């Protein structure tokens, strides 16, 4: 019934992505069956619900939802909240650009901006599944992704950007051009940085006063952190750090705190990394009990980047709070949360279609939107300056911290960094003991995959 339609094209793409046709997971098996039923004409409009599929395939609604989301990512179906899942017959009329965005807070806003600027296309923006980085690169045309953690080497997942395209950004004085040199490998450029947001400490001023502890002042040292930890031993159910969010940044902060002065991350020895992880366990072992929540008022510090401080902090607490830079030994090092856009190597769409979209994302309209929402710091200087206006907190700290930045992916190769990030999440989620976390990290560190063709450290200054 659907010969020569978008469904047949999508079916070929899906089977191509599944390799030799072997179905590795339950959701792929369900998705494959649904595709065959669509092709045969069994489903002409509406597909079964998640619960119906779960019952038929003897699985959970979560797995069934994953199969339906997979088909939506392939532009075969449209999922409507409260109504169900339907065949996407409209997709035959316009090219759909599939995007994955790691932050869901602005999905609808970005999709609206893109639809207005590019009415000839339709856009489908979805959130990636946690820990499944290759999948959302494989199933999308454009990936809006963390700048620090990549699930694999660039050449495995991303299409190189034309040098003429990237050089315009590097040489344009309106931008911090050095940031566009970040995602490079083997003489090619792969990513376009859209925003950056350094990670800082947010602290509970009310709790400090209640405990009779002097308020922290920058720069806050590692020695002072340990003094605080000692002081808290006599206070029951009061914690040093919140372990509920931002697991990767605290781990990298402890690692950086044990990096020899003047050394590069790519030169780190296992002994230094081991000390950093031991520091992490010393500072967080009690916090990961699940009782340490900054929002509850029983925690002194939590990590926050500019995006999350707007979402989770401002106006949310009934106590006073403030921010200050993270503690470190090597002045000038900071862990940065930034986001960049990549063109997926598996996308069937041409550069002629996708490059203007990337260009728009670093253009004034989107950058001004980022500034207005304070969703990180825009890479466009004029927008970055505008985003500092009328701030209700010490926004200058965020800007001060991006003057000298070292990206975390100089510690491991990209494949390995993604695995390391997963190990950190397992530790914080209490899925493994600290001893297991340490031994797995050591094995990872000593494996042949580590630090091959390590990139040079990327340090740059932002003049604004």
Question: For 295-313, what is each residue's pLDDT tens digit?
Answer: 889 999 988 887 777 666 6
Distance CA 302, CA 203 (A): 6
Which residues on adjacent β-strands are paired with residue 321? 204
458 domain residue, yes or no: no
8 A C-beta contact, residue 49 and residue 84 = yes
Distance CA 375, CA 195 (A): 8
Q: Are residues 425 and 296 in the same domain?
A: yes
CATH code (residue 49): 1.10.10.10
Distance CA 372, CA 393 (A): 15
Distance CA 120, CA 412 (A): 41
Q: Are residues 220 and 319 in the same domain?
A: yes
Q: How many domains does the chain have?
A: 3
pLDDT of residue 461: 39
Enter the tokens of residue 37.
């039923």
456 domain residue, yes or no: no
Q: Are residues 299 and 204 in the same domain?
A: yes
> Is the bond preceding residue 219 a cis peptide, omega within 30 degrees?
yes
Residue 193: φ, ψ to 5°: -70, 125
The β-bridge relationship of strands 336-343 and 377-378 is: unpaired
CATH code (residue 364): 3.40.190.10
pLDDT in tens, 25-50: 788 889 888 988 887 778 878 899 99
pLDDT, block means (10 residues), the chain with 464 residues: 41 40 70 83 85 92 90 83 79 75 81 89 79 73 78 79 92 83 82 83 93 86 86 90 82 81 73 92 85 89 80 75 73 60 93 96 94 86 82 71 50 70 89 94 74 43 38
pLDDT of residue 434: 95
Q: Are residues 420 and 308 in the same domain?
A: yes
Distance CA 237, CA 297 (A): 11
Q: Are residues 64 and 129 in the same domain?
A: no
Angle at 15 between CA 9 and CA 19, to 5 degrees: 145
Residues 6+ apart with CB under 8 A from 62: none
pLDDT of residue 369: 93
Q: Are residues 211 and 301 in the same domain?
A: yes
Residue 281: φ, ψ to 5°: -70, -40
- Tell me the pLDDT of the chain averaged across its residues: 79
> What is the spatial order of strands in the sheet that 200-204 belongs to?
239-241, 299-304, 200-204, 321-324
Give 130: exposed, middle or buried? Use CB within 10 Å, 0-12, 13-18, 19+: exposed
Q: Are residues 49 and 103 in the same domain?
A: no
pLDDT of residue 243: 81
Pick the closest to residue 136 from 127, 147, 146 (CA basis).
127
Give just the sign of the alpha carbon dihedral 396, 404, 375, 169: positive
With both helix axes pointing from N to C terminus, report the angle between 351-361 and 364-373 in degrees, rounded to the nearest 10.
40
pLDDT of residue 13: 41
8 A C-beta contact, residue 126 and residue 135 = no
From residue 427, how far is each of 101, 243, 287 by CA, in Å? 25, 11, 12
Q: Are residues 270 and 285 in the same domain?
A: yes
Distance CA 272, CA 182 (A): 26
Return the SS3 of 69.
Answer: helix
Residue 66 structural domain: 6-86
Q: How far is CA 141 from the centre of its chain?
A: 17
Q: pTM of whole model > 0.95?
A: no
8 A C-beta contact, residue 110 and residue 125 = yes
Pick the closest to residue 269 from 257, 260, 277 (CA basis).
260
Biggest alpha carbon distance in the chain? 75
Q: Are residues 354 and 291 in the same domain?
A: no
460 domain residue, yes or no: no
How many other C-beta atoms lie within 10 A of the C-beta of residue 240?
A: 20
């Amino acid at each position: 019934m659907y010969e020569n339609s978008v469904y047949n094209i999508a079916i070929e793409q899906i089977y191509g992505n599944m390799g030799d046709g072997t179905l590795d997971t339950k959701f792929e098996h369900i998705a494959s069956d649904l595709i065959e039923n669509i092709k045969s004409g069994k489903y002409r409009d509406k597909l079964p619900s998640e619960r119906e599929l779960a019952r038929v395939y003897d699985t959970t609604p979560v797995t069934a939802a994953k199969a339906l989301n997979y088909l939506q990512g392939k532009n075969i179906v449209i999922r409507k909240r409260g109504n169900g899942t339907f065949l996407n017959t409209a997709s035959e009329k316009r090219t759909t650009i599939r995007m994955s965005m790691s932050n869901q807070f602005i999905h609808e806003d970005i999709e609206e901006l893109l639809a207005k600027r590019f009415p000839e296309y339709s856009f489908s923006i979805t959130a990636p599944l946690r820990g499944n980085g290759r999948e959302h690169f494989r199933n999308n045309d454009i990936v809006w992704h963390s700048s620090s953690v990549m699930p694999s080497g660039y050449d495995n997942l991303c299409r190189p950007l034309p040098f003429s395209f990237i050089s315009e950004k590097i040489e344009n004085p309106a931008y911090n051009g050095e940031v566009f040199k970040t995602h490079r490998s083997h003489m090619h450029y792969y990513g376009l940085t859209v925003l950056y947001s350094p990670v800082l400490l947010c602290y509970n001023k009310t709790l400090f006063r209640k405990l009779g502890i002097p308020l922290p002042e920058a720069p806050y040292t590692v020695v002072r952190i340990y003094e605080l930890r000692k002081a808290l031993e006599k206070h029951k159910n009061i914690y040093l750090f919140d372990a509920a969010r931002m697991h990767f940044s605290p781990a990298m902060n402890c690692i950086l705190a044990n990096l020899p002065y003047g050394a590069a991350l790519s030169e780190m020895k296992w002994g230094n990394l081991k000390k950093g992880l031991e520091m992490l366990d010393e500072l967080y072992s009690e916090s990961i009990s699940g009782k340490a929540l900054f929002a509850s008022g029983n925690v002194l510090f939590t990590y926050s980047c500019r995006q999350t401080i707007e979402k989770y902090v401002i106006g949310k607490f009934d106590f006073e709070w403030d921010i200050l830079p993270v503690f470190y030994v090597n002045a000038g090092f900071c862990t940065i949360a930034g986001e960049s856009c990549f063109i997926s190597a598996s996308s069937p769409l041409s550069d002629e279609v996708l490059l203007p979209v990337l260009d728009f994302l670093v253009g004034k309209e989107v950058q001004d939107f980022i500034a207005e929402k304070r969703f990180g710091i825009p890479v466009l200087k004029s927008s970055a300056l505008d985003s500092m206006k009328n701030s209700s907190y010490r926004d200058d700290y965020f800007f001060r911290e991006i003057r000298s930045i070292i990206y975390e992916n100089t510690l491991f190769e990209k494949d390995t960094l993604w695995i390391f990030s997963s190990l950190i999440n397992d530790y914080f989620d209490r899925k493994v003991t600290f001893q297991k976390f340490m031994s797995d990290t050591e094995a990872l560190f000593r494996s042949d995959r580590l630090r091959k063709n390590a990139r040079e450290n990327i340090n740059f200054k932002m003049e604004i």
